[in-house]
Structure 1
């Protein structure tokens, strides 16, 4: 299931909320926003998020325990995705690079480690917030 048309009603609603959001949303924030659609329990949101993550529509930001819609269509078969998260405005920029992913995979394997995935998060201040502060 990689086509958006194959998503369930609940998955579509969760994805739409994440795509419309100005920043990352927690599962409980999504639940609050989807109550008018009949969502009553966190499990409904988590089930939708689980599938959306597996299918490459959504990413989980580990440091925030929150979720964002995938910013751009890109290949999800490699294990490396990086995010720059602005601590001032909450903007999240997604970065994915096949070559960087392979370099990181080679490095960890050379050190005897078998990775399942890598989520790299840079926390700091975006260029816009830096310019506004100057």
Structure 2
């Protein structure tokens, strides 16, 4: 997904999204701040405000276990409210995927329990295929 898909992005949101889109992996808010200092970013709050909106728009995901952020790699993430990631503990590779069966199971549980789900993020931690083969 690209920033043009959401016309209401501010300059700061576009810069933060661009940093994440260009990154080889997840970035912390402070890493984003360091990357954007030459663009006028001076305080972490500037980055966090932009990230909050980008997450709300479905353009960016927060990886809770890493306290970091990644640009969404799927169209329409904001529409389905669920994201899943496989995180390699050796090389740091983060792969986004859609586990439809797992999501369906979780949605069934929420209906049965009367739980009002707002967002789902699944994080799998382990070793990627390339690191396992090495």
TM-score range for the pair, normalised by the shorter chain length: 0.7 to 0.9
Q: Among residues 62, 65, 72, which one is paired with 2:64 in the alignment?
A: 62
Question: What residue number does 2:19 align with?
Answer: 17
Gaps of 5+ in 2: none
CA displacement, residues 13-36 of structure 1 (integer Å, 9 cap, x when unaligned): 101110111111010110011101
Cα 1:8/1:106, change in 2 over 3 Å = same
Gaps of 5+ in 1: none
Distance in 2, Cα, partners of 1:4 & 1:36:
25
Matches within 5 A, 1:40-59: 40-59=42-61
What secondary structure, in the 3-state scheme, does the structure 1 residue paired with 2:111 have?
helix
Deviating beyond 2 angstroms after TM superposition, the runs of 4 or more aligned structure 1 residues are 1-6, 74-80, 96-103, 111-116
CA displacement, residues 103-134 of structure 1 (integer Å, 9 cap, x when unaligned): 311123323433222211000111111122xx
Matches within 5 A, 1:1-134: 3-97=5-99, 100-132=102-134
Cα 1:75/1:22, change in 2 over 3 Å = closer
Cα 1:130/1:23, change in 2 over 3 Å = same
Once the two structures are overlaid, the 10-residue window that deviates more, 90-99 or 55-64, is 90-99
Contact 1:57 1:69 in 2 (8 A): yes
What secondary structure, in the 3-state scheme, does the structure 2 residue paired with 1:113 have?
coil
| Deviation of the 1:80 alpha carbon | 2.3
What secondary structure, in the 3-state scheme, does the structure 2 residue paired with 1:64 have?
coil
- Aligned pairs, number: 132
